[in-house]
Amino acid sequence: MPTKSMRSSSNVAESAAAVAGKTPKLKLEVQYATKDPQAPSRTEFRKWIRSALKQDAEIVLRLVGATEGRDLNRNFRGRDYATNVLTFVYDDAERDAQTLAGDIVLCAPVIESEASQQHKMPIAHYAHLTVHGVLHLQGYDHQTDGDAAEMERLETHIVENLGYKDPYSGTVE
């Protein structure tokens, strides 16, 4: 999953305040490439993305099945299995430097399987992984324990503000 290196911040509270205090412009395209009766609506995806976005962005969010999810993960990450979320950041020299651009790919069967295994509501898991993808788009990662802890704290803050429980605490009812 190609991502930018994580941007430094003094703490999660400042990052969360920045997320909460700004209303960036969002150009969003949602693509449903798989039929899933539990799939969130475009409105829900837009709300979740906006909750985590700190700057203007152009995002394509694509909901895929297991075959496409596996192909993308294998071709771009060298891992031969479908994963829950992939984020592809595009650095375009002609694009305004203040506007993020990228794709977020959510694999519906993986997300729903994980939600079931973790005793979470699928909608809460979709919200969490959408936020997770948006944070990756903005340069956050979880390659080190410190980065992972910071990203998880920020995700938890955003997801709880959306009305869901801490995604790392277990059951999200």
Task: Tally the C-alpha atoms within 13 A of residue 43's C-alpha that lie toward its C-beta.
Answer: 0
Q: Is residue 30 part of a domain?
A: no
Q: What is the CATH number of the domain that holds 98?
A: 3.40.390.30
CB of 82 closer than 8 Å to CB of 93: no
Average pLDDT over every residue of 33-39: 91
Whether 61 is in a domain gets the answer: yes
- 1, 24, 100, 101, 102 from 95: Cα distances, Å: 22, 16, 9, 9, 12
The count of C-alpha atoms lying within 13 angstroms of the C-alpha of 169, restricted to the half-sphere facing its C-beta, is 13
Residue 151's nearest CA partner among 105, 75, 87, 79 is 87
| Alpha-carbon radius of gyration of the chain | 15
27 pLDDT band, cuts 50/70/90, is very high
Any domain includes 76 = yes
- For residue 173, is it within any domain? no
pLDDT of residue 172: 45
Position 78 scores a pLDDT of 96
- Per the CB < 8 A criterion, the answer to whether 123 and 167 are in contact is no
- Smallest CA-to-CA distance from 106 within 149, 159, 62, 144 is with 62
Q: Is residue 125 part of a domain?
A: yes
pTM score of the predicted model: 0.84
Cα separation, 101 vs 59, whole angstroms? 6
For residue 169, give both structure tokens. 């605490």
pLDDT at residue 93 in the model: 52
Q: How many domains does the chain have?
A: 1
Q: Does residue 167 lie in a domain region? A: no
Rounded mean pLDDT of 52-79?
A: 96
Query: What is the pLDDT at residue 170?
Result: 65
Q: Taking 60 as the threshold, does the pLDDT of residue 31 lie above it?
A: yes
Q: Is the pLDDT of residue 9 over 60?
A: no
Q: What is the per-residue pLDDT for 98?
A: 77
* Residue 8 located in a structural domain: no
In this structure, is residue 31 part of a structural domain?
A: no
**Structural domain boundaries, residue 145:** 44-161
Which pLDDT score is estimated for 96?
64
Mean pLDDT (whole number) for 61-82: 97
Residue 155 reports pLDDT greater than 90: yes
Residue 106, pLDDT > 80, answer: yes
User: Of the given ranges (13-17, 53-57, 153-157), which has the lowest mean pLDDT?
Assistant: 13-17
- Above 50 in pLDDT, residue 2? no
Question: What tens digit of pLDDT does each residue of 74-103 get?
Answer: 999 999 999 999 999 997 655 567 789 999
